[in-house]
Amino acid sequence: MENKIIGLENKKSIRIDLVNPSVFRIRLSEDGKFKESGLNRYGIIKDEFPKFKYECVQETGTVIIRTADASLKISEANGVVSLRDSQGKLLVREADAAKSSGETGFRIGFRLEQDERLYGLGDIGRDRIERRGQKGDVIVKNVACYLPIPFVMSTNGWAVFLNTTWYHHFDAGATDKDVLSFSGTAGQLDYYLIAGKNFADILDKYTQITGKPHLLPKWGYGLTYVNDEREVRARDVLNDAYSFRREGIPCDMMGLEPDWMEKHYDYSTDKKWSETRFHTPFWLKKKSSGTFTGALNNMGFRLSLWLCCDYDLSEYEEALAGHRQEEPHTDLQNLEDDLIKDPHFCPSYMDQITKPGVPWFEHLKKFVDDGAEAFKLDGSNQICFHPDRKWKNGMEDAEMHNLYPLIYGKQMSLGYKEHTGKRAMIFTPSGYAGIQQYCATWSGDTGGEAKPLVSLLNHGLSGHSNVCTDMSVKTEAAIHFGFFQTIAQAFSWHQYNQPWFLGTKKQEMYKFYARLRYSLMPYIYSMAHVAARTAMPVMRAMPLAFPDDRECDKHIYQYMFGQYFLVSVFADTVYLPEGRWIDYWTSKTVEGPVEIPVEYPENRGGALFIKAGAIIPMQEDCDFIGTATPEKIIWDVFPHGHSSFELFEDDGDTYNYLNGETAVTAAECNMQVNKIEFKISPRKGSYLNMPNRRTHEIVIHLDSAPEKVEVDAEWDYDSQQKTLKICNIAETAKDISVLCRF
């Protein structure tokens, strides 16, 4: 990656790294030295990019760097930067000269236009999506802010990503309505400016730097049920698992809370299974029958283990980065650097848990070998402040605190990958910029209702797709919401939240939504593939899906679930943007833009709409997903204009999809005045264990019976359901085409 260093008249230096034709990394130094952020140091941010053409010209008092997509102008007097697009349109300009000092920290401000809107920042504030007028701290905090992301994108076609893990502050026009600013009391100014055509383009470019969202194993998008914590035994877990199968409620993973360990909340690397609750005789180890994990697997379940961590993870990161390791300090009574000379707050370079030279994941391999395929990381102690700790990498806690949850997730994800060769399923409540490439997150100890919803949508506006809450079962609305998240995770802890204990109405609703989600798995998994390729999340805030419709900013309790579903929950009204929408529960058609009262059947928990033109791939009923590809795909088609969909499939378990081992099936529908044509193209691509045989079923929603249907298969029109149904179409090397004439 090429760079330009420009000396300023105030004796400071500014360094421009040319990342790609739309992205510039900018650093300001008072001494000509440019330090690397922990995000770069530990390989979380990508530094190597292909070369591209650019020109650097010097005009009176300015330096201009031009690429095919953008231009960056730097004042030699004070370092003020402005960004323009390829046509010369001004996208953004610094409000005044930025500051960067080793003594006093940094500050930078960007001038905002009157109608400019701002989005991003991850979990900072759960009461809004549009950020202008808000301010706050970019610091991981328990409950209040689990996952801050110092990334903001604008409706004016630009974004800024602040490349620091130091505690800092943002002000999105709260103090000065015309300025977005970032400031910190420590650290060097280091940021990326991004020019983009739209939000989708900006998210794609931002995650080219910080990593694309991780594609979870296929079963990770099914239902996870986390068991009771209180001295739960293997037989209790197996009984719950068997009950899911007996009750016909699909589920893929059972999660254990801290009592799976001999010592409750064991932070050490010497933890072991509870002998009384999860004992496995040595002669049955790794057997597929007669053991706890074997019994779960035989019913189609995966196992997740809860973890807590207080390990000094920075030591291993330093080793990975190839930096020399210093010997740990052992004099824990040296109070020389302690202002109040209190031995309880004595700084220490190594805690009493970390084993020098031993990676954290090393001691977890034995549990993976025992059958664990996922881990849920408790907030303790990764979200706790450690003002007395001296980290092995030499960082102060004010720099390490935001970084710690991120490298925790990184080491868990990559450790599992290295040990098994399979995709990691790591849940964590907290993180920072880049967490999307390693982990799935849940919204922490904040329940599963309205406020966490806003948090999940803000994650999606910040490049992170694999998100969920601990599903609440207190209300029908919360169940509706719980199953329409990227991940569905039910949770007991100290409660009996098993669906068969919820009463007949809720149990039936729970079962209905679970089976609906599982039937939609081809659609959901395809949307997860889109997120892994482009960073367009599965759960899409309304302004992300409809950026030109300002009315969408108001409606924070509804969202697009993938390309075609609109989910509404916890609200009395629902806003339908321009276009035609179909009520999924009643088939009633509504023309947008319009705000209407929320209505849904008594046995549902919220409104659900389909965008006209939708092509939804589905599968038949199943009790669990696993990794297998269904041999039969059911296409649910709602014709309107021209529309399309791509069905993505892979082995569901390995990282081979990154090497192109994926099959894509394209479908498109074209509706004209007197005819509708629907076409399915043959699969392109291949992967391990791809089924050779594939059949299709097509269901096309029509207002009236067609006069003629041209298709090489038997068909039937149901006048009650108003659907044309074509069954058992064998896939060949040719297109499957359905032509309806009216």
Per-residue confidence (pLDDT) for residue 4, from 0 to 100: 87
Same domain for 395 and 483, yes or no, is: yes
> DSSP 3-state assignment of 565?
strand
Looking at residue 387, its pLDDT comes to 84
Judged by phi (left if over 0) then psi (alpha if -120 to 50, else beta), residue 578 lies in beta
Nearest to 605 by CA among 477, 431, 413, 458: 477
Q: What is the CATH number of the domain that holds 503?
A: 3.20.20.80
pLDDT at 561: 98
CA dist., res. 449 & res. 171, Å (int) = 28
Identify the pLDDT of residue 11: 76
**Could you give the CA distance from residue 332 to residue 139 in angstroms, rounded to a whole number?**
28
Six-digit token pair at 377? 């990381």
What per-residue confidence (pLDDT) applies to 333? 46
Residues 395-422: tens digit of each pLDDT: 999 999 999 999 999 999 999 999 999 9
In a domain, 655, yes or no: no
Nearest to 237 by CA among 285, 303, 281: 303
Q: pLDDT for 439-490, tens place per residue?
A: 999 998 888 999 999 999 999 999 999 999 999 999 999 999 999 999 999 9
Residue that is last in its domain, among 210, 241, 257: 210
Burial of 46-81, coded b for 16+ CB within 10 Å and e otherwise, reads beeeeeeebeeeeeeeebebbbebbbbbbbbeebbb
Angle, nearest 10°, between helix axes 504-519 and 521-534? 60
Residue 324's pLDDT band, with cuts at 50, 70 and 90, is low
CB 286 within 8 A of CB 369: yes
User: 527 and 447, same structural domain?
Assistant: yes
Number of neighbouring beta carbons within 10 Å of residue 722: 14
Instruction: Evaluate whether 536 touches 200 at the Cβ level (below 8 Å).
Output: yes
- Ranking 3-17, 105-119, 539-553 by mean pLDDT, the lowest is 3-17
pLDDT of 388 > 90? The answer is no
Q: How far is CA 680 from the centre of its chain?
A: 30
Q: How far apart are CA 229 and CA 306, in angstroms?
A: 10
Structural domain that includes position 30: 3-210
Residue 314 CA to residue 392 CA, distance in Å, equals 6
Q: Which of 543, 443, 560 is nearest to 202 (CA)?
A: 543
22, 126: one domain: yes
**154-175 mean pLDDT:** 98
Answer with the one of 160, 178, 210 that is the final residue of a domain: 210
At 290, is the pLDDT very low, low, confident or very high (cuts 50, 70, 90)?
confident
Q: Which residues of 652-667 are buried (b: 16+ CB within 10 A; e: fewer)?
A: bbbbebeeebbbebbb
Confirm whether 679 is domain-assigned. Answer: no
Could you tell me if residue 621 is inside a domain?
A: no
**Does one domain contain both 164 and 251?**
no
Nearest to 13 by CA among 110, 78, 92: 78
Answer yes or no: do 225 and 196 share one domain: no
The residue type at 245: R
Pair 203, 266 in one domain: no
> What are the angstrom distances between the C-alpha of 291 and each of 84, 252, 472?
63, 18, 31
In this predicted structure, the answer to whether residue 176 has a pLDDT above a threshold of 90 is yes
**In this prediction, what percent of the chain has a pLDDT beyond 90?**
86
| Alpha carbon distance 556, 127 (integer Å) | 8
Measured CA to CA, the distance from residue 71 to residue 91 in angstroms comes to 10
pLDDT, tens digit, 9 for 90 and up, residues 570-626: 999 999 999 999 999 999 999 999 999 999 999 999 999 999 999 999 999 999 999
Q: Exposed, middle or buried, 282 (CB in 10 Å: 0-12/13-18/19+)?
A: exposed
Answer whether residue 282 shows pLDDT above 90.
Answer: no
User: Please, are residues 470 and 447 in contact by the beta-carbon 8 Å criterion?
Assistant: yes
Residue with tokens 């900013």: 553
Lowest mean pLDDT among 137-141, 150-154, 175-179, 443-447: 443-447
Q: DSSP letters of 183-229?
A: EESSS--EEEEEE-SSHHHHHHHHHHHH-PPP---GGGGSEEEEEE-
Rounded average pLDDT over 155-167: 98
Q: Is residue 725 part of a domain?
A: no
Closest CA to 498 of 513, 510, 512, 485: 510
Identify the CATH number of the domain in which residue 122 sits. Answer: 2.60.40.1760
Question: Which pLDDT band, with edges at 50, 70 and 90, does 344 fall under?
Answer: very low
Do both 63 and 175 map to the same domain? yes
In this structure, of 332-336, 386-390, 456-460, 601-605, the range with the lowest mean pLDDT score is: 332-336
Contact 40, 47 (CB under 8 A): yes
Q: Does 719 fall in a domain?
A: no
Would you say 105 and 186 are in contact if contact means Cβ atoms under 8 Å apart?
yes
172 and 284 within one domain: no
**Which of these three, 515, 532, 549, is where a domain ends?**
532
User: In whole angstroms, what is the distance from residue 227 CA to residue 277 CA?
Assistant: 14
At residue 331, the pLDDT reads 43
Cβ neighbours for 551, distance < 8 A, ≥ 6 positions apart: 575, 577, 593, 595
When pLDDT is cut at 50, 70 and 90, the band that residue 325 belongs to is: low
DSSP class of residue 68 equals S
For residue 641, tell me if it sits in a domain: no
Whether residues 197 and 242 share a domain: the answer is: no
Has residue 507 been placed in a domain? yes
> Domains in the chain: how many in total?
2
> Could you tell me the pLDDT band of residue 719, with boundaries at 50, 70 and 90?
very high
Question: Residue 704: what residue type?
Answer: S
Q: What integer best gives the mean pLDDT of the chain?
A: 94
**Pair 233, 153 in one domain:** no
- Indicate the residue type of 373: E
Q: CA 115 to CA 95: how far, in whole Å?
A: 17
Q: What one-character-per-residue DSSP string does 448-488 give? A: SSHHHHHHHHHHHTTT---EE-EE--SSHHHHHHHHSSSSE
Bin 105: left if φ > 0, else alpha if -120 < ψ < 50, else beta: left
pLDDT tens sequence across 650-660: 999 999 999 99
Residue 146 in contact with residue 443, Cβ under 8 Å? yes
Do residues 148 and 236 share a domain?
A: no
Q: Mean pLDDT across the stretch 726-732? A: 95
**In angstroms, what CA-CA distances link 246 with 33, 473, 490, 669?**
65, 20, 18, 40
* Residue 452: CA count within 13 A, CB half-sphere: 22
For residues 722 and 543, give the distance between their C-alpha atoms in angstroms, rounded to a whole number: 33
R_g (Cα) of the chain, nearest Å: 27
What is the C-alpha separation between 443 and 453, in angstroms, rounded?
9
pLDDT value of residue 181: 98
pLDDT value, residue 330? 43
- In this structure, is residue 341 part of a structural domain? no
Instruction: Check whether residue 181 and residue 266 sit in a common domain.
Output: no
Helix axes 504-519, 476-483, angle to 10 degrees: 20
- What the block records as the tokens of 454 is 């806003």
Distances in Å between the alpha carbon of 280 and those of 293, 324, 386, 583?
Answer: 10, 42, 38, 51
pLDDT tens-digit series, residues 1-58:
788 898 887 778 999 999 999 999 999 998 889 999 999 999 999 988 999 999 999 9
Contact 278, 350 (CB under 8 A): no
